[in-house]
Amino acid sequence: MKLTGTHFGLKTQEKSVVIIGMRGAGKTTTGGWAARHLGWPFVDLDISLEETLGMTIPEMIKTRGWDGFRADELKHLQTTLQEKGTGHILACGGGIVETPEARKILNAYQQDGGIVLLVMRDIEKVVGFLQIDKTRPAYVEDIMGVWLRRKPWYLECSNYHFHSQSVDAVGLASTLEDFSRFLDVISGKGTTLQTLKKKSHSFFVCLSAPDILP
């Protein structure tokens, strides 16, 4: 399990946490953890979109096509951030980054002090999970190809990354304590940074590897 953050010190401690990532990466699991740890409501935007429109995502795609679904998804993201922009944990659908306007919204959100948390797992394990998951519409292209196309967008739109090698709920549960500490730091609720500032000196370790994820 690896945790990566690109900055400390948020403009506000109350802005909602937005979670992005591939389907099957663990957004719902980590979103539930975050909601319980911070005491905030958890909203799965896919589910709330279905409730708002009164139809399932497969039905939306069948009725309006992928372009129509993406348009509805974008509008729902905009509305949700307006109505629940503080004190919530918001998990986006895996394909939210496919829409340029959605990427602009996510980028603007993190630049305004919000947390956009990218949840990742080993992609081979995610592929295996998605091949047996029949609860969502099947990808119309190779899953690995989808990941490779979306990966730069995920990285662009997020300012914090949570990476776990585990793919099942049991494996993810073993990282809960680390995730809770990480969440405290990035949400401004932890005291780690304040404790460091009180010390007369501190140190850091610089790794030569440009990217520790591989």
pLDDT band with cut points at 50, 70 and 90 for residue 124 = confident
CA gap 185, 47 in Å, rounded: 29
Q: Cβ(20)–Cβ(154) under 8 Å?
A: yes
Residue 205 domain flag:
no
Percentage above 70 pLDDT, the chain = 78
Is 198 a residue whose pLDDT tops 90?
no
Please report the pLDDT score of residue 83 as a whole number: 95
Write down the mean pLDDT value for the chain. Answer: 82
Please report the pLDDT score of residue 167 as a whole number: 46
CA gap 135, 116 in Å, rounded: 25
Cα distances (angstroms) measured from residue 59 to each of 9, 24, 72, 134, 139: 42, 21, 13, 14, 15
3-state secondary structure of 94: coil
Residue 211 domain flag:
no
Would you give the end-to-end CA distance of the chain in angstroms? 12
Which residue range forms the structural domain that includes residue 51?
Answer: 2-198
Overall number of domains in the chain: 1
CATH number assigned to the domain comprising residue 25:
3.40.50.300
Residue 132 domain flag:
yes
Note the pLDDT tens digit of each residue in 86-118.
Answer: 999 999 999 999 999 999 999 999 999 899 999
Residue 212 domain flag:
no
Paired tokens of 48:
């709330």
